[in-house]
Structure 1
Amino acid sequence: MTNMTIKIEGMSCQHCVMRVKKAIDAVAGVTKSDVTVGNASIEFDESKTKKQDIIAAIEKAGYRVQKTG
């Protein structure tokens, strides 16, 4: 399993948290997600999904992932 923590822009309330969590959890291979306003910690199986697939799901839900590095 792979873990990643990302910062998410555009979240301001519990509704945003639930929307992002639902989007992340719908990605095949995600085994665990902990979402708070502005952040998400995600555990996923790299043989089933890629980091970019999770980021794409968040962005499709209407939020922007802060690029790091």
Structure 2
Amino acid sequence: METKKYKISGMSCQHCVMAINKELQKLQIEDKKTEIGSAEITFDEQKLTEKEIISAIEEAGYKVIN
């Protein structure tokens, strides 16, 4: 398991958090803590790549900045 923290730009409210969580739920994530401006995600790197996580965040309309 690996845990990564991502800084996310464009988030301003709880709706933003919910939008990102909706996209992340489609992935095989072990645990997530999403708040305005960031997300801490625990995942099995053999089942999921960072690129897939970043793509899901971007699919929700936000940009990973780290």
TM range (shorter): over 0.9
Gaps of 5+ in 2: none
Give 1:14 deviation, angstroms.
Answer: 0.3
Provide Cα deviations, 1:15-46, integer angstroms capped at 9, x if missing partner.
0001111211211x211110000000000011
Q: Choose between structure 1 and 2 for higher RCO, CA contacts under 8 A separated by at least 6 residues.
A: 2
- Using the size of structure 1 for normalisation, the TM-score is 0.90
Gaps of 5+ in 1: none
* Aligned alpha-carbon RMSD (Å): 0.8
Partner of 2:53: 54
Stretches (4+) displaced over 4 A: none
CA distance in 2 between counterparts of 1:34 and 1:25 reads 12
- Using the size of structure 2 for normalisation, the TM-score is 0.94
Identity %: 44
Query: Would you say 1:22 and 2:51 are equivalent positions?
Result: no
